[in-house]
Homo-oligomer: A and B are copies of this chain.
Amino acid sequence: KIQNTRKRAPAYPPGVDVTVFDQAVDELRGQLGTDNVSLNDQPLIDGWYMEHPNTHDMMHVLDDEELVPSAMVYPGSTEEVQHVVKWANKYRIPIFPISMGRNFGYGGAAPRVRGSVLVDLGRRMNKILDINPDDYTCLVEPGVSFFALHDEIKRRGYDHLWIDPPDVGGGSVIGNAVDRGVGYTPYGDHWALHSGLEVVLPTGEVIRTGMGALPGNNTWQTFPYGFGPYSDGIFSQSNFGIVTKMGMALMPNPGGFESFVYTFPKEEDLTQLIEIIRPLRISNILENVAQLRHVIQSIAVLGNPRSTYYTGDGAIPIEIIHEAVSESPLGDHTWIYYGMSYGPPHIRKYKLDIVDAEFKKVPGARRIDPATLPPDEYFWTRDRVASGTPDVQELRWVQWVPNGAHIAFSPVSPIRGVDATRLIEIARRRHDEFGIDLLPAFIVGLREMHLIVEIVFDRNDEARREAALKCLRAMIDDAAACGYGEYRTHLVLMDQIAGTYNWNDGALMKFNEKLKDALDPNGILAPGRCGIWPKRYRGRGWEM
């Protein structure tokens, strides 16, 4: 989509006079350099994943001019981030920090409050500060992507070090971790594996957490806790601070790895299969954060638009999908499990034999021999990602519809057949209601799984955007009524989802608000993120 004009006037920070804002921008330009502050007054250009805009959400589910910043600033150091924060406090201008802004499905680079000043940390703060080959750790700035970290490790010849990428490798190590994203090796829980933060607080002070608070230490990246309250967690999924450095554990090369893939014929197999997975996963026979995907994903990820298969109304009939997949190297199936086993051959064999015996208890279960799969098969993407090589193939299903964009429903459940089935039923009922294709995948953690249902929509079609959003809002409420909550969400849904975590009359949100008011008395940092509104905004209709 290329636009030559804007429909609406450029956005301004709420409650800030235009001339005051202009003056404030000039002041900031004086501090950071003219090139490092730009107004968001040009036409919006969507670009694509690897050249995404930070002027708006490229995969917007609202009108593209809705969640836009007034300006973008590019600090080059922690000190410059402190400048920006102090400046924001002086003028009461809301700022919204991003690392790289590739948080697609969850809001991309967009701020929650229209007219905020976007603090794009990654553009200039993109150094790998340390890779420690003895401790198996690294220390990075916000602009370091999974690709960049992977490449640098290879460049240095550290074959014994692996990274853990999420499905698309262009995001930043920091941005993904602070939003509590996941990858697919045994090191998939990124938040759990970080060690040490440097954080600029909403009032401008800078702290280092964990051992980082001890001058001259050599343990910042090896021991996460330090002494006293372990405060890192409150800087994830929040608006309590700006992370300017983060340490991360690197996985030791396991000395061998082997992907495996099983298909299961029937929808109903889900219940039995999940029951089989649970004990194997908890006991680490299934070692990685695996994906159990639905057949429609097997087709969508080929990258052909759905119109290749179906041009009728409503959700695509499942028979058409089965027909299409029957002709593929995978053969017909309903569920497909992608896993990986690690270690030397005899150790893998021990685990794989158990997996095989257990999975084959499902009638019709079939192990596909990877040797039969062509090199461009999606299987090899899962193989790369689960062995620490970043990839972008996962983006292919976004082309399922023209001008494809996506937004995710991501509820958490125990690894139990009954929960899996209940969540799929909620999703299917609502998808049918809104005529949307259901694209579900279970991401199996250790004792829980995230169901990720991606709604792919034509972002230029207002009706489809609205349907996507209505479907999502309905699923969120249905799920909450059954006791399921989301692990992460899109900017637009944050208030709704925060509202479902309302035990004891919303006690947790009141607690979060107390922290917010103490740490950010002027309410300048990412107001509304994760449903937390500072005092100045609270109860004034900002929720959506």
Q: Which residues of A contact B (CB under 8 A)?
A: 134-137, 180, 191-192, 195, 201, 205-209, 211-219, 221-223, 225-238, 240, 249, 252, 254, 278-279, 282-283, 344, 346-347, 350, 412-416, 419, 445, 447-448, 480-489, 497-498, 500-504, 507-512, 514-515, 517-519, 530-532
Contacts and interface: CB of A to CB of B under 8 A. Distances in A.
Contact of A227 (B207, B208, B219, B497): B497
B214 A503 contact: yes
A233 B482 CA distance: 28
A497 to B, nearest CB: 6
Contacts of A512: 228-229, 231
Contacts of A445: 223
A386 to B, nearest CB: 18
Which 3 residue pairs across A and B have the least CB separation, nearest first? A518-B518, A230-B233, A216-B483
A217 B484 contact: yes
Contacts of A282: 135-136, 252
Contact of A229 (B238, B481, B483): B238
10 contacts: A136-B282, A137-B447, A195-B447, A205-B510, A219-B413, A225-B237, A227-B501, A231-B234, A231-B515, A515-B518
Given A192-B192, A214-B501, A231-B511, 17 more contacts: A191-B230, A205-B510, A212-B503, A213-B501, A214-B503, A222-B448, A223-B445, A226-B487, A227-B501, A229-B237, A229-B515, A229-B532, A232-B233, A252-B282, A254-B283, A344-B350, A517-B518
A512 B225 CA distance: 14
B222 A229 contact: no
A134 B418 CA distance: 13
A544 to B, nearest CB: 17
Contacts of A498: 227-228
Nearest to A216: B483
B482 A216 contact: yes
A519 B517 CA distance: 11
A469 B135 CA distance: 33
B447 A507 contact: no
A352 to B, nearest CB: 13
Quick one: which of A238, A414, A481 has the most chain B CB within 10 A? A414
Contacts of A487: 223, 225-227
A333 B449 CA distance: 49
Nearest to A483: B216
Contacts of A489: 227
Nearest to A488: B227
Given A218-B483, A222-B448, A514-B519, A502 B213 contact: yes
A412 B508 CA distance: 33
B228 A501 contact: yes
A530 B228 contact: yes
A91 to B, nearest CB: 23
A207 B252 contact: no
Quick one: which of A227, A231, A489 has the most chain B CB within 10 A? A227
B237 A230 contact: yes
Contacts of A511: 201, 205, 207, 231
Nearest to A279: B252
Contacts of A483: 214-219
A232 B215 CA distance: 26
Contacts of A419: 218
A227 B486 contact: yes
A252 B209 CA distance: 32
A514 B503 contact: no
Contacts of A509: 228
Contacts of A480: 214
A284 to B, nearest CB: 8
Given A414-B219, A514-B519, A211 B350 contact: no
Nearest to A284: B252
Contacts of A510: 205
Contacts of A278: 134-135
A192 B487 CA distance: 18
A81 to B, nearest CB: 14
Contacts of A201: 511
A248 B219 CA distance: 27
